[in-house]
Amino acid sequence: MKSEFNLKLDRCKGCGICVAFCPKQVLELDTLGKIFVAHPEKCIACGQCELRCPDYAIFVDKVKEEAKK
């Protein structure tokens, strides 16, 4: 795991911008139309999702492997 997500679902309006601009297809909208980290293992923590989220609902941080252990 290279990244840690923090989702503020009460802010998410399901616009799909983060899904569209994720270069690794990590994100999907769930059946209720909110953001869902479907493939966390593919994430490269580039931050494109957070950058363009108009609702400040998704945050992603790089996590060092050692820190995880």
Partner 1 sequence: MTERSYEKFFRQNRLPHLWCPGCGNGIAMKAIVQAIEKKSGWTQDNTIIVSGIGCSSRASGYMDFDTLHTAHGRAIPFATGIKLAKPELNVVVITGDGDCTAIGGNHFIHGCRRNIDLTVILFNNNIYGMTGGQASPMTPLGKKATTAPYGSIDRPFDACKLAEAAGATYVARSTAFHVQHLTKIIEDALDNKGFSFIEALVQCPTAYGRRNKIGEPAKMMAWMRDNAVMKNAWDKLPDEKKIGEKFPIGLFYKAETETYDEAYHHVMEIAGGASK
Catalog residues that contact partner 1 under the rule CB under 8 A: 4, 6, 10-11, 13-17, 19-21, 51-57, 59, 61
Say how far apart CA 37 and CA 5 lie, in whole Å: 8
Structure-block tokens of residue 34:
């909110």
Q: How far is CA 50 from CA 3, 46, 69, in A?
A: 13, 9, 26
